Amino acid sequence: MNAEAAWYTTPEGRRQTQREFERALKQGTLLRSPGSPIPQTDAKVLAELVEKAKAKATKAISIRLPVADLERAQRIAAKEGIGYQTVLKRAIQAGLKKVS
């Protein structure tokens, strides 16, 4: 990853990208695909895009876990060939589905 690409993964880069997205949304210059501008007056399309973005949005958090739980997640991750954070995310999602 080059320096410019790495910058976009920083909190500052993500904030700037969000500001640019919001500005383009307000100005009606947001593009759906190359050469396909979304008219500013098309509220349905804009609302759909915002909902899709919200559905995919994530937020970094800090959480304290018992060491044993963390080690268990790491073992599961190693067996599955994925990151332990992915294992924890899936476990949280499964737990939330179960209680709702």
pLDDT of residue 87: 96
Residue range 78-88: average pLDDT?
A: 95
| pLDDT value, residue 85 | 94
Q: What is the mean pLDDT of residues 1-14?
A: 80
Identify whether the C-beta of residue 84 lies closer than 8 Å to the C-beta of residue 77. Answer: yes
Q: How far apart are CA 31 and CA 41, in angstroms?
A: 14
Cα–Cα distance for residue pair 90/98, rounded to 1 Å:
12
Q: How far is CA 21 from the centre of its chain?
A: 14
pTM summary value: 0.50
Segment 21-69, tens digit of pLDDT: 888 877 877 766 666 665 655 677 778 878 888 888 888 899 999 999 9
